Amino acid sequence: MPVNKKTPVPNGTSNGTLNGIPKQNTKPNDTHTSSATKPRQTYFSGRFRALFALTFLGALSAAVRLSSHASGTYALCSQDGNHIYTVDANNTKVQCVVVRDSHILGTGSLSDVKGRWGTSPFLETVAQILSHSKFRVQYIPSGSIIVPGISDSHGHILEYGASQELPLEGTPTIPDTVTRVRQFILDNPDVLNDKTKWIRGGGWDHTIWPSSSWPSAAELDADPLIRGRPIVLQSKDCHALWVSAEAMKLSAPFPDAVEGGVIVRDESGQPTGVFLDNAQDLIKQPELTEDDLRRRFHLAVNHAHARGLTSIHDAGLDPMSLAFFRKQASNGVLPIRIYGMRYFNENQPYWGNTTQIIIGKDNDRLTARSVKIFADGALRTGGAALYEPYHDNPETPGFMRLDPDILFDVIPKFLRDGWQVNVHAIGDRANGLVLDAFEASLKGANVTALRPRLEHAQMMTRADMRRLGRLGVIASVQPTHAISDMWYAEDRLGPERVKLLYAFRSIIDSGAKITLGSDFPVESMNPLSAFYAAVTRVSPDGKSPHGPEGWFPEERLSRIEALRGMTIDPAYASFTEDILGSIEIGKRADLTILSQDVMSVPCNTILDTKVVATIIDGKVVYGEL
């Protein structure tokens, strides 16, 4: 008896229905029955099921296609215009960036994104069931911007971590510095109760002290709580150590002289407790433990993420540091990209032809394919090698930290064996000698394949600036050094030579490529400090020796030059411009979201900018979306 349309039948009854849908009659003796005599519900149910099957299969196919790119796929968009700086070749600005897993899938307007990657609610639901995720659009806070993940082209990761354990930055006098050391001892019971425990700190700056003179071990040991403890305090520029009498006692005896370094002595010839440049190696500190390194590393990385950094060029990995980074990488994905420069020791045999180059690929974030060579010291400590004596110390023109012949010997060897060569050079003489060595080594070479770098390139003659551009050598510069050094630079160099110091605009106009960094912990790790210094050349409170327009304002960079110097230029300087440095399809999804548009806000508000989020490989490592 067919079901009456007006008579509801419970689901699951034995009247020939299954969940309210009539069963098909499959008995052999029913084959002669015409379709016209079949129950009406059976006919329409069959058509409905066929139609539903086709629709579902179509939806399933669409959902599979959607889920194939929806898993881990999202768009970041600004609601009120194009506030994403792609830093592509045309410096394009867009409204949205689409991220799929660890890569950039596309860019465009909000309507473009929704049209290409959005879909109907039904398909989204099916895709979500299949892939446990769905495509979503996330709006960034009003007024904020997105830039490519920011890189620091010159920093020191483990040294930064160490400097934060006992920070001495900004202490106005020697007694204030000693007081901070004393307080550190009191605040750490394990140090207080063990006088043999070495105490390390960093950041003191004698150029801001009233006397501008070197400190001494006697001033540390004048405090009875400090006396008798081994203490090593690194200077702000990392080119000097101030140590206690106990640290000297444990490191003695000392040679009469040190090539490429200075032991500061009193009138009787006794060491006072300050060791410059290569002489720093004379202090025999105990080996750092794995816990020491791990603590410093995580402290530095956490600070880097909070400041929007996704990549750091670590400028001078000693064997211990490199071994630590390799171990961390082998235990899992590093929390930040590290482009390491292996430390060169001129007293050891050449190793460029026997040491393996490390090139990070895919999820391997550690690369070590360059070597770092020190040519001279630092301007702050009077160790930069100049052509003429210092204006405020006519007895010396500074010094080279190695024999220039070594540059002409090892640079071509490293280049031949596939290493990028990065040379620390501060003074005009040091930069000139390094460029001489590069010029001799690069004859007939493909400089784009080698990409040699001058680390700091602080001061050079006009002729050498032009030679820098002609040779294709990259200038790795630190704008925050300029606004730190501008207060004493003219005293040290005189009114004419000082014009050649931190001449960023002149370097770019010479045709040279630049890349920006901070040299942390020497300067602030905050990349916006470098951005601010590059475009203003004034102190954070708006001052300079030349007034509010900036110290030699003609050497300022434009904002787009500064942004490129923190994104695509560091990528080029580390051979990663094909995967990093700009927001383009196929590149790794490294992004930094800033709270305001540093490309347009008044200069005096740039440093008010906060980091909203830091994203590496599509995942938020700081902040939230």
pLDDT tens column, 276-334: 999 999 999 998 899 999 999 999 999 999 999 999 999 988 899 999 999 999 998 89
* Of the candidates 174, 184, 171, the residue with the CA atom closest to the CA atom of residue 216: 174
pLDDT tens column, 559-572: 999 999 999 999 99
- Over residues 609-620, the mean pLDDT reads 98
* Of the candidates 241, 242, 240, 236, the residue with the CA atom closest to the CA atom of residue 168: 236
**Sole residue written with tokens 């950039």:** 104
Give the per-residue pLDDT at 49.
53
Give the per-residue pLDDT at 47.
53
pLDDT tens column, 578-608: 999 999 999 999 999 999 999 999 999 999 9
The SS3 assignment for 516 reads: strand
- Over residues 208-236, the mean pLDDT reads 93
pLDDT tens column, 32-59: 444 444 444 444 455 545 554 444 445 4
Please count the CA atoms within 13 angstroms of the CA of 399 that sit on its side-chain side.
Answer: 17
Walk me through the domains of the chain, giving residue ranges and CATH numbers. 45-139 (2.30.40), 157-282 (3.10.310.70)
Please state whether 253 falls in left (phi above 0), alpha (psi between -120 and 50) or beta.
beta
The confidence band for 169, taking pLDDT boundaries of 50, 70 and 90, is confident
In sequence order, the 6+-apart residues with CB closer than 8 A to the CB of 217 are: 242, 243, 244, 245, 247, 248, 271, 272, 273
Give the per-residue pLDDT at 46.
53
**Which of 204-208, 300-304, 342-346 has the weakest average pLDDT?**
204-208
- Average model confidence (pLDDT) across the chain: 88
Residue 140 · residue 76 · CB < 8 Å: yes
- Over residues 454-467, the mean pLDDT reads 98
Residue 106 · residue 585 · CB < 8 Å: yes
Q: Strands 240-243 and 231-235, how do they pair?
A: antiparallel
DSSP secondary structure code for residue 41 in this structure: H
* Of the candidates 566, 534, 488, the residue with the CA atom closest to the CA atom of residue 212: 488
User: Is the pLDDT assigned to residue 198 strictly greater than 70?
Assistant: yes
User: Is the pLDDT assigned to residue 121 strictly greater than 60?
Assistant: no
CB neighbour class for 153 (10 Å; exposed up to 12, middle 13-18, buried from 19): buried
